[in-house]
Amino acid sequence: MEIKENKEYFNILSEIFTLDKNTLEKDFSPFFYWYFRWCFARPENYKDYISVWKKIFILIDGDNKRILDIGCGFGFISIIFYLCGAYEVIGCDHNSEKIDLFKKLLKRFNPPLEGVQAQLADGVALPYEDRSFDIVVANDVISHVRDLDLLLYEVKRVLRDSGSFFLEDGNNSLYLPRKVGRWRHWKKWEYGPLDPSEFRETDIPLPYFELRKQMIIKEFPSLNERMIHYLSKKTAGMYGNQIVESAAKLLNKEKIDKPLFKYRHPITGEFQEREFNPIKFRRELIEKGFEVQILKPHLSPFFRGVKGLLKRFFLLIFVFFPAVAFFVTTSFRFICTKKEGA
């Protein structure tokens, strides 16, 4: 498939990554700059980023298709897909700050991109009709969403029969070299210290442990510091009313159910980089009514050294053993096709 791209508009998109930090933080937000900090490090990075999503557009056969981008963030992927030739792209995210910045980004295009919409919507309760999209995209979403079963149900509901669901996630539990770094990341978000620029403006800039303490103090103001600390530790991985209800049970010396993964935003319910075994997850997707194709992972052309050579060597085996990709890169990619009548 040949991409029908508008070079002038792609240049407008690329110009974002050439702006200096002060301008970006003023025109958008410190979190925006922090999120894309690797793209601002050098021109090759953002050029590779745009190139990758052009290739994915071809893989999912997005030309003249109606696409839903769940957890779209600031909307770059939605815009790239539309500029490549999609009929319409709706980017939805449950975070209002990201959607506001997505809309601000769209204003840089003149004439406007009529076929791109930025909508505030939750992936576990999509406000769209059944079978209304040809393609659904979820990039780095499944490791954060508070209820994965509901998300997958909604994806299947809004997809047309034989429609495609593209998903990618960077939290592959089978890639062992990333384990230690991910553990440190979880601990940082649970206990701190945290960089203020890592927070969205809609967030309270505190570690999860401190947020739970605030929720417990509000509900049980007479407790001493030692007990508050104990309850916050025991309710790790819970969110919303679960924290208060479990704290009450613990005070009554009752047993509580412990979450399987304890690094979770106490207010929004978002998980912090939850790991997935892609082999088991692929099996789950098949059980839910999808045919699943494993895609070859992306390796940046600027990735060099012995490590890069080893990865490229192992990926030569991908043609015969696709699952080998799970053991040599931190990300995994699937194209899932919704079965007829599923």
Domains and CATH numbers, the chain: 7-173+275-338 (3.40.50.150), 179-251 (no CATH)
Digit-coded pLDDT (tens) for 102-131: 999 999 998 999 999 999 999 999 999 999
**CA-CA distance, 92 to 73, in Å (whole number)?**
8
65-81: average pLDDT: 97
Digit-coded pLDDT (tens) for 207-256: 999 999 999 999 999 999 999 999 999 999 999 999 999 999 999 999 99
- C-beta of residue 70 within 8 angstroms of C-beta of residue 138: yes
Which residues 6+ apart lie within 8 Å of 328 measured at CB?
175, 297, 310, 311, 314, 315
162: left (phi over 0), alpha (psi -120 to 50) or beta: left
| Residue 175 clears pLDDT 70, i.e. is over it | yes
**CA-CA distance, 231 to 244, in Å (whole number)?**
9
Residue for token pair 């204003």: 107
CB atoms within 10 A of CB 258: 12
pTM (2 decimals)?
0.92
In whole angstroms, how far apart are CA 244 and each of 141, 217, 227?
Answer: 27, 10, 14
| Residue 2 clears pLDDT 80, i.e. is over it | no
Rounded to the nearest angstrom, the gap between the alpha carbon of residue 227 and the centroid of all alpha carbons in its chain is 35
- C-beta of residue 12 within 8 angstroms of C-beta of residue 106: no
CA atoms within 13 A on the CB side of 47: 5
| Residue 1 clears pLDDT 60, i.e. is over it | no
- C-beta of residue 86 within 8 angstroms of C-beta of residue 65: yes
- Confidence tier at 321 by pLDDT (50, 70, 90): confident
Pairing mode, if any, of strands 332-338 and 116-120? unpaired
Q: Residue 4 is encoded by which pair of tokens?
A: 């029908």
Residue type, 65: K
pLDDT at 322: 80
**CA-CA distance, 303 to 213, in Å (whole number)?**
43
243-272: average pLDDT: 95
